Structures are given as C-alpha cells and as structure tokens.
Amino acid sequence: MFLWGGRFSKKSNNNFLNFNRSLDFDYILVKQDIISLIAWSKFLLSSKIINKIEQSSIENCLNEIKNDLKNNFSIILRSDCEDIHTWLEKELIFRIGKVAKKLRTGKSRNEQITTSLKMWCKDSVKKLISYLKKMQLNILYLSEKYIDVVMPGYTHLQIAQPILFSHLCLSYYEMINRDKIRLSNLLKTFNFCPLGSGAISGISYKIDRYKIAKEIFFSDITKNSIDSVSDRDYVVEFLSCISIGMMHLSRICEDLIFFNTSEANFIELSDIISTGSSLMPQKKNPDILELIRGKCGRVYGSLISILVMLKGIPMSYNKDMQEDKECLFDSINTWKNCINMISLVFKNISINYNNCLKSVENSYANSTDLLDYLVKKGVSFKNSHEIVGKIVLYAIKKKKYLNQINISTLKSFSIFFEDDVYDYISINKVLERKNSIGGTSKNQVLNSIKLAKKRI
Ligand code: ARG
C-alpha cells in the first residue's frame, strides 16, 4: 500500500521501492506511533473531523494492534509497506475500513517520524540510565570486596604513586555517573513535541498543540513548524552521549586488559568470560574487553555519519534524514550490550592481591613521599625534588628501592634524613596520608563508597 499515488501514472520500480523503504528498521517505533495516533484521533474528534464512534473504533483498533503485536513484529516485517506509518494505516484500513482513512487528516509523516523517534529516545534514555546504575552497583561491590588491595597508580603508563584498587574502581564510578547525568539532561532536549507542525508550514485545522503534547508525555512543544520537521539535533546529542559513554568503557577495558597481561598479572578473568586460542593452548584471552574497546569505533562512526548526513541539507525535511535511525538504534544497542558485558566482567574478575602489592613495593612509587619528607623538614620543594631525583638515579644504579638505601647514604644526599624516614615512606603510611577528600586513603575510599551508594 502507498500513501500517495493519485498523481502517478506509472507503477514504481521494485528495486527503488526496496531502496526507499525504512520499515525494516523503523518498525520498532510502532508503539510510539500508536500512542501519537491515538492522541491525533482525539484531536480529530475535538475538531469534529471524526465523530465519537469513529474515534473509539480507531482507538480500540490501535490498541488491538498493539496487543496483537506483543513483542512479535513478524507480521509487520512480512509487509511490503514503505514505513511503519504506512503499515499502521494499511492495517487500520484492513481492520476497520474507511473510517481509518480519515486519521491522516492534517498530519504528515514528517512530523510523525520525529515525534515517534523522540518518544522512543526518551524511553531508551531511561533504560540506559537503569543499566548504568546496575553497572555502578557492580563497581561498588568490587570496591568493597577488594578494599585492602594496594596497587600502583599510573600516569603515562609509568608507575606514579600507590593507590587502592577500590579508589580506581571509584574513578570508574564517577565517569559512569557523568554519563547518567548527561543522559538525564538529554531528557530535557527530547521534551519538545513536534506534532501539529504538518509537513512544513503548520496545520490549518484548529489544534491545541499543548494538549496533544501533554497527552503523549511531552512537557512542551516545538516553536517553529519548519524547524520541527528539520531538527535532528537530539539524535546527534544522543549519539554524542553514547560516544562519550563508549569512550569511558573503552578506557576501563584498556586498564583491565593491561592488568590482565602476563606481565602485570594484577587481575584474572574467570573462565566463563574468557576465550582460548585455536592454536596456542596456553592462551586465555580477554576478548570480551577488546570487543567492547573495538565497538567504540563503530559508535563514533555513527555519530560522524549523522553529522555528515545532516551537514548542508536544506531546511526542512529531506529523505536523507531517514538515515538517522539505523545508526542511532545500532549505537544504543551496542552501548547497552557493552554496559551489560562490562557489568559481567566486574562480577567475574578476581584480583591478585600479592602481585598488585609486589608491583608497588618493587617500584619508586614512594619517591614523592621521600620528597615530602624533606619539605616537612624545611627543605624547599625545588631542592627536595632535585635531591630525591638524584637518590632515585643512585638507587636504580645500585638495583635498590628507596627503603633499601641505608641512612648514612641517604644522609650523604641530605643531612635532614633521619631514621624515621623509612616509616614515612612505607606504603601504608603513604596511603594513609592521602586523606584529602577524594584521595586514596582507606578512610577516604570507604567514605566515598558510602556516599556513592547514596548517590545511586
Ligand atoms: N521514513 C521516513 C523517515 O524515516 C519517514 C518520513 C517520510 N516522509 C516523507 N516525506 N517521505 O524519515
């Protein structure tokens, strides 16, 4: 069935029809389309374009279609209709006859598609927020379970300072929290209802756009009919949130991939989420993490696709814009799957306490503390930095760590060193002193976990 035809004297080319079709992917908007069509039928009733009996029959039939579909869309997909709007009209006409032909009065697919898509985006955002919450809970579970694990903190992938493993987990929590906030802010962007804008110039029937918007759960309306049908900023904004979210996941994955190397050996992934090699029997690979990292590229690709598709297209609706959906749907799905997979990882890793600690002990991660020691004794920061730099160089040459250099040698670098220096640069003391808010001391980390639980 076509929504047009009167003007045409020749039959459409079949290959072209397939090319033009969006039903294969826009069918997932069926529930949103039904909701807005019901609201539209109520408007038609209030404008006396249809009567009460006709409105009820349309509304009942739309609800019936919704129930018949449940989550099985095969009856839609079997059809050769152009898009979900066409399919719904065809189905209504098939079920209730000519009254259904009135439903399209004054309404364009240009406004309908963007209305349904915005509604769908709102639902997706809410679901994504709930997945992110679950992920945060898994992060907190891990932080509590391994609260005593000390590990090296890295900058430039060089050992920097000792941290608690839980502290690192909490940094992941914060990234995810910003994703949640970004998503909630997005809901405001989605809240302007385009319905009642017509194809481009508005609608000549008397319509209360605010009323119809409220009925389909929008808090406000779009203010310009041309912009209403042109605007896809919300798709771009949604995709940029997803891209940032995927970037966060990729960074977490990169950390875990490194921690899981034979060289670092800080963590182990459970067999149930690891893969083997077809050739090398010893291998246990973190495919799950690499795949999440890899899928980040696909999502960035979608963001760029939409930006390029929108670039320079004239106002207002152009068919180019049909290309917005597959990218968006795929990215949402990808992010959702990756969030769920990383949650699975958090539930199925074990931390190698001894290797983490050994890595800190066999390093110069306490150099800053040796420097602080001298500062406390009154040496300027600049001079202390110079002195400790020389001590580290000496230690590397002698194949020793800072706590293995005897006091007389230390004194030869600075007379301010005393016996208490060894206690001062011990890992426990180093950690304990990082007691600034958001710092790595156990005290702070426990407090952050407590607050993080409340913030969820
Ligand atoms: N399938 C179209 C889309 O996704 C729906 C709007 C079609 N409008 C039109 N004038 N052809 O954008």
Which residue's CA lies nearest to atom 4 of ligand 1?
Answer: 322
Q: Is 70 among the domain residues?
A: yes
The mean per-residue pLDDT over the stretch 218-224 comes to 98
Q: What is the pLDDT of residues 140-173, one digit of tens each?
A: 999 999 999 999 999 999 999 999 999 999 999 9
With a 6 Å cutoff on the Cβ, whether 321 touches ligand 1 is yes
What pLDDT does 3 receive?
Answer: 72
Q: How many CB atoms lie within 10 A of CB 39?
A: 20
Domain boundary among 316, 332, 354: 354
Q: Tell me if 179 sits within 8 A of 249, measured CB to CB.
A: no
Q: Do 326 and 398 belong together in one domain? A: no
Q: Do 397 and 429 belong together in one domain? A: yes
With a 6 Å cutoff on the Cβ, whether 113 touches ligand 1 is yes
Which residue's CA lies nearest to atom 2 of ligand 1?
Answer: 322
Q: Is 7 among the domain residues?
A: no
Structure confidence at residue 7 as a pLDDT band (50, 70, 90) = confident
Q: Tell me if 99 sits within 8 A of 57, measured CB to CB.
A: yes
With a 6 Å cutoff on the Cβ, whether 84 touches ligand 1 is no
With a 6 Å cutoff on the Cβ, whether 109 touches ligand 1 is yes
Q: Is 340 among the domain residues?
A: yes
For residue 243, give Cα distances in angstroms to 129, 171, 364, 370. 15, 19, 37, 42
Centre of ligand 1 from the C-alpha of residue 113, in Å: 7
Known active-site residue 277: yes
Q: Tell me if 322 sits within 8 A of 305, measured CB to CB.
A: no
For the chain, count helices (H), then strands (E): 20, 6
CA separation for the pair 39, 62 (Å, rounded)? 11
Cis? peptide before 316, omega within 30° of 0: yes
Which atom of ligand 1 lies at the shortest distance from residue 199's CA? 10
Q: Do 195 and 292 belong together in one domain? A: yes
What pLDDT does 5 receive?
Answer: 72
Residue 4: helix, strand or coil by DSSP?
coil
Q: Do 60 and 138 belong together in one domain? A: no
Q: Do 342 and 407 belong together in one domain? A: no
Q: What is the pLDDT of residues 91-101, one digit of tens each?
A: 999 999 999 99
User: Residue 392 is part of a domain; what is its CATH number?
Assistant: 1.10.40.30
Q: What is the pTM of this model?
A: 0.94
Q: What is the pLDDT of residues 394-419, one digit of tens each?
A: 999 999 999 999 999 999 999 999 99
Q: Do 188 and 259 belong together in one domain? A: yes
Q: Do 101 and 130 belong together in one domain? A: no
User: Residue 85 is part of a domain; what is its CATH number?
Assistant: 1.10.275.10
Q: Which residues, other chains included, contact 84 with Cβ-Cβ below 8 Å and sequence gap of 6+? A: 22, 23, 26, 27, 29, 30, 33, 76, 116
Q: What is the pLDDT of residues 11-68, one digit of tens each?
A: 888 899 899 999 999 999 999 999 999 999 999 999 999 999 999 999 999 999 999 9
What pLDDT does 54 receive?
Answer: 97
CA separation for the pair 124, 128 (Å, rounded)? 6
In this model, does residue 275 exceed pLDDT 90? no
CA separation for the pair 336, 249 (Å, rounded)? 11
Tokens of 112: 């309908």
Which atom of ligand 1 lies at the shortest distance from residue 114's CA? 12
Q: Do 97 and 130 belong together in one domain? A: no
In this model, does residue 193 exceed pLDDT 80? yes
Q: Tell me if 69 sits within 8 A of 60, measured CB to CB.
A: no
153 strand-pairing partners: 161
Q: Do 324 and 379 belong together in one domain? A: no
Q: Do 148 and 60 belong together in one domain? A: no
Domain containing residue 404 = 359-451
- Give the sign of the dihedral formed by CA 99, CA 105, CA 110, CA 113: negative
Which atom of ligand 1 lies at the shortest distance from residue 324's CA? 4
CA separation for the pair 423, 407 (Å, rounded)? 12
Q: Tell me if 183 sits within 8 A of 234, measured CB to CB.
A: no
User: Residue 171 is part of a domain; what is its CATH number?
Assistant: 1.20.200.10
Centre of ligand 1 from the C-alpha of residue 192, in Å: 19
With a 6 Å cutoff on the Cβ, whether 322 touches ligand 1 is yes
Q: Which of 74, 156, 262, 436 is catalytic?
A: 156
Q: What is the pLDDT of residues 295-346, one digit of tens each?
A: 999 999 999 999 999 999 999 999 999 999 999 999 999 999 999 999 999 9
15-30 b/e with 16+ CB inside 10 Å = b? Answer: eeeeeebbbebbbebb
Q: Is 59 among the domain residues?
A: yes
Structure-token match 């408007």, residue found:
43
221 strand-pairing partners: 193
> What's the whole-number average pLDDT of the chain?
96
Q: Is 1 among the domain residues?
A: no
Residue 364 burial (CB < 10 Å; 0-12/13-18/19+)? middle
192 strand-pairing partners: 220
Known active-site residue 156: yes
For residue 196, give Cα distances in angstroms to 30, 108, 201. 19, 9, 10
113 or 9: which carries more pLDDT confidence? 113
Among 181, 337, 325, which Cα is nearest to 244's? 181
Q: Tell me if 134 sits within 8 A of 128, measured CB to CB.
A: no
> Ligand 1, residues 25, 109, 116, 310: which to mutate, most atoms within 8 A of Cβ?
109
Q: Do 185 and 237 belong together in one domain? A: yes
Q: Is 117 among the domain residues?
A: no
Q: Is 9 among the domain residues?
A: no
Question: Considering its fold, how many domains does the chain have in total?
Answer: 3
Structure-token match 């069918």, residue found:
27
Tokens of 406: 């005897």
155 strand-pairing partners: 158
Residue 263: helix, strand or coil by DSSP?
coil
CA separation for the pair 418, 37 (Å, rounded)? 81
Structure confidence at residue 71 as a pLDDT band (50, 70, 90) = confident
CA separation for the pair 63, 67 (Å, rounded)? 6
Q: Do 350 and 363 belong together in one domain? A: no
CA separation for the pair 19, 149 (Å, rounded)? 57
Domain boundary among 354, 379, 406: 354
With a 6 Å cutoff on the Cβ, whether 355 touches ligand 1 is no
Q: Is 456 among the domain residues?
A: no
Domain boundary among 354, 383, 409: 354
